[in-house]
Chains A and B, each alone.
Chain A
C-alpha cells in the first residue's frame, strides 16, 4: 500500500468515527426527548 492509502484511511476513519458517533448521539437524543411527556421536554425539543 502507498503512504497516500494510509493517510486517506486514517483521515477517513477519523471523520467516520466522529460522524457516526455524532449521528448516533443525535438519534438517541431525539428518542429520549420523545419518551418524555410534553411538559417535561426541554425548550428546544
Chain B
C-alpha cells in the first residue's frame, strides 16, 4: 500500500490536496476481497451456521446486525481520532479532516443499517418493529448526531475553519458511542446484553456461530476499509476541483477588473467634453 498522507498545513495547492491514501492496485485487490468474503459470509451465515434453539432462523440476522453495529463504532472512532489529530497543532492536516468526514459518512450508513436490521430482527423476536428501549434510542441519537455532523461539514467556509468546527463536533458526538455500548448494562433494557460475552466475560455463543460472527466482522471491516478509501479519494478530488474553480473565478474577476480600469479613461474624456482641436 503506497500512502501519500503528508501534512498540507493549509496549502492551496490543488494537486497536493488530491493526494490519494492508497494505490489503485491495493483498492482493486481490496474490492475483490470484499466481494469474495461477502459471498462466503452469505453461504456461512445462511447455510452452515446452526439454527438457534430459541430464536430459530431469525437469529441468522445476527451475522449482519452485529458487524454493522461494530462498523458504526469503528467508523465514528476513526472520525474522532482523526478529528483529535487535526485539532492537535503538531499533526494538523486537512488530510485528517477529509478522512474524518469520509469515515463519518460510512458510519452513518452503517448506523442506519444497524437500526433497520435491529428493527427487522425485533419484529419476529420481540413482536415489535420499534420500542423505546435504551439501546435503540441511544443508537437513534447517534445516527442523528452524525447526520448533523455531516450537515455541518457541508456549510461553506474556509477549509481550515470548517475542519476545526467539524473536529470539535465529532469529539462531542463520539461521547454517545460508549453510552450506546454500555446502555444494555446501565439500564434495564429489552435488548439483550453482549452477544459473545456475558457480564462474567464467559463466551455465551456456540463455537461455529462465534467463528462465523468473527468472519462477518472481518468481512465488514474490509468493506469499511474499501469504502473509506474510495470516499477519501472522492473528497480529495472534489476539494481539488473546488479549489481550481475558485482560482479560475479569482483570475476571471481580476482580469475583468483590469479591463475596466483600462477602459475607464474613455468616459472621462467624454465627460470633460473637450472639443476636437481645442487647447489643453
Contact = CB atoms under 8 A, between A and B. Distances in A.
Interface stretch (B120-128, B155-163, B174-182, B252-260): B120-128
Contacts of A40: 14-15, 18, 240, 244
| Contact size range, B | 35 or more
Nearest to B15: A40
B113 interface: yes
A25 B20 contact: no
B45 A21 contact: no
A22 B227 contact: yes
Nearest to A8: B46
B227 A21 contact: yes
Nearest to B27: A44
Interface string A1-18: 101101101110111011
Nearest to B120: A10
A44 B230 CA distance: 13
A42 interface: yes
A38 interface: no
A14 B24 CA distance: 26
Interface SS, B side: helix
B24 A6 contact: no
Given A13-B116, A28-B234, A40-B14, A6 B68 contact: no
A42 B120 contact: no
Given A3-B124, A7-B58, A29 B234 contact: yes
Contacts of B206: none
| Contact size range, A | 20 to 34
A29 B27 CA distance: 13
B227 to A, nearest CB: 6
B64 A11 contact: yes
B65 A10 contact: yes
Contacts of A17: 109, 112-113
Contact of B237 (A13, A15, A18, A32): A32
B68 A11 contact: no
A28 B233 CA distance: 11
Contact of A6 (B23, B45, B58, B227): B58
5 contacts: A17-B112, A18-B227, A21-B109, A25-B227, A35-B241
Interface of B: 14-15, 18, 20, 23-24, 38, 42, 45-46, 55-58, 60-61, 64-65, 68, 109, 112-113, 116-117, 120-121, 123-124, 223, 226-227, 230-231, 233-234, 237-238, 240-241, 244
Interface of A: 1, 3-4, 6-7, 9-11, 13-15, 17-18, 21-22, 25-26, 28-29, 32-33, 35-37, 40, 42-44
